[in-house]
Amino acid sequence: MCTDKCDRDLLAIRAATIFVLTDSGRILRKNNPDNAAGPRFHLAISTSGSIARIRQDVGERIVRAIESLVAGEPALRHPDSTPVHLHDYLRILAAEAPIERYDMGLIWTFQDRLEHEHPTALVGSATREGDRLLARLAGRGMPEALVALGFMDVDELWAPWCIALHGDEIASI
C-alpha cells in the first residue's frame, strides 16, 4: 500500500516523466517527440497533498503568488473535487498572459499484479503451452468458429499471439 509520501512521490515522478524539467524543477517543455511547449502551470493533487510545476518562462511574481496558493491547497478527497484555489490560479495566470484553456482530470494508479481467480488459461506463442496448443490444433484442425473468422490453419496465428482457453475451448485470440 502506498503511503502519503509515496503518493506525493508518484505525482512528482509523473511530472518528471511527462515534462522536461529544468534543474530547479520548472517546466521546460513536454516530454514528447515534437518538443511541444508545456503548460504554464501543472498542479497535481492527491489525498495526501499536492505538487506543482510552473513553466520556466512564467514571471517570478506570478510564480511566488501561485506557490503561495499551492502551499495552502488542501488535499482532494473525492474524484469530483476541484482545487480550492482554481479561480485564483486562473486569475493570476491571466494577469501575465491570456489563458487559452485548462484541463482537469484524474490520474489512476494500479497495483503491479492483480490476483483474480478465473477458469481461463492464457497461452502465448513461443511457450511450451503454446507449442502444445499448436500441435493439437494442427492434428485436430482449427475449430469451426475460428475457421469462420479466417483462421484456416495454425499458420494463420502470427506470433506474437495470446489465446485465452476456457477448458479446452478457445475463448479469445
What is the model's pTM? 0.62
* Beta pairing partners, 170: 165
pLDDT at residue 76, as a whole number? 86
pLDDT tens-digit series, residues 66-105: 999 999 999 888 888 899 999 999 999 999 999 999 998 8
What are the residue ranges of helices labelled H in the chain?
Answer: 4-18, 60-71, 86-96, 128-140, 144-148
Instruction: Give the closest residue to 151 by CA, choosing from 165, 170, 132.
Output: 170
3-state SS, residue 125: coil
Q: Is the pLDDT of residue 16 over 70?
A: yes
Predicted pLDDT of residue 9: 87
* pLDDT over 70 (residue 2): no
Is 3 a residue whose pLDDT tops 60?
Answer: no
Q: Model confidence over 110-147: pLDDT tens digits? A: 676 667 777 888 999 999 999 999 999 999 999 999 99
Q: Find, among 128, 136, 129, 125, the residue nearest to 162 by Cα.
A: 125
The residue assigned the cell 490453419 is 153
